[in-house]
């Protein structure tokens, strides 16, 4: 007697659906792993912006979960050594980050910046193009470094309000250049 295996057509669909879900789950985890490797934020901090730059250094903006005794930090360097940091926190109420959206003729970019002395440090995330870091001295851009595409990273500016961020809304570049002067 021959033993016949009878399969229902929905069984094959079910197996394929499970296989697809497993593959999608694998690929959705991979960018998170890359982002974790490309940040100077601690595991208990929110990553506001973080990426590995083309010069192999990392730029990160991190915030605490609490605003009452919280902080927001900019960090630049390598995991082994942070070369520059800037902190806005409840003990330093005059130090602030600034946020806005610059609109161009065919693009726009979310920008988050702070000033330290005569320098302005800006992380940017354009609608089209690579995110990165811009450094200006006395209003003139002296360095512009794009994020390394192969390095992954998170480049989403915060959408929630923060006591450490001064909101500037949406405007053209000339308007922002006026606000950067002082």
For 76-93, the pLDDT digits (tens) are 999 999 999 999 887 777
Cβ neighbors of 139 (< 8 A, separation 6 or more) are 120, 177, 180, 181
The range of the structural domain enclosing residue 175 comes to 33-180
Q: What tens digit of pLDDT does each residue of 143-179 get?
A: 999 998 654 455 554 455 678 888 888 887 777 777 7
Q: In this structure, is residue 26 part of a structural domain?
A: no
- Classify the C-alpha dihedral 111-117-119-123 as positive or negative: negative
Q: Is 178 left (phi over 0), alpha (psi -120 to 50) or beta?
A: alpha
Report how many domains make up the chain: 1
Q: In this structure, is residue 82 part of a structural domain?
A: yes
Q: In this structure, is residue 1 part of a structural domain?
A: no
pTM above 0.75, yes or no: no
| Rounded average pLDDT over 123-140 | 91
Mean pLDDT is lowest, of 3-7, 56-60, 127-131, for: 3-7
Segment (H or E) for 84: strand 81-89
| Rounded average pLDDT over 25-33 | 35
Q: In this structure, is residue 27 part of a structural domain?
A: no
């Amino acid at each position: 007697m021959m033993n016949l295996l009878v399969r229902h057509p929905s069984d094959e669909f079910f197996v394929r659906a499970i296989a697809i879900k497993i593959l999608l789950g694998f690929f959705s985890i991979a960018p998170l792993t890359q982002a974790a490797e490309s940040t100077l934020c601690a595991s208990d901090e929110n990553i506001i912006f973080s990426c590995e730059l083309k010069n192999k250094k990392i730029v990160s903006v991190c915030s605490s979960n609490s605003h009452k005794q919280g902080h927001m930090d900019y960090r630049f360097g390598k995991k082994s050594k942070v070369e520059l940091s800037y902190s806005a926190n409840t003990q330093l109420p005059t130090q602030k980050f600034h946020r806005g959206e610059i609109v161009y003729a065919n693009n726009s970019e979310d920008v988050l910046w702070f000033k330290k002395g005569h320098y302005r440090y800006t992380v940017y995330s354009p609608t089209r193009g690579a995110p990165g870091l811009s450094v200006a001295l006395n209003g003139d851009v002296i360095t512009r470094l794009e994020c390394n595409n192969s390095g992954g990273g998170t480049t989403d500016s915060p959408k929630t309000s923060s006591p450490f961020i001064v909101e500037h809304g949406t405007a053209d570049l000339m308007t922002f250049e006026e606000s950067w002067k002082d």
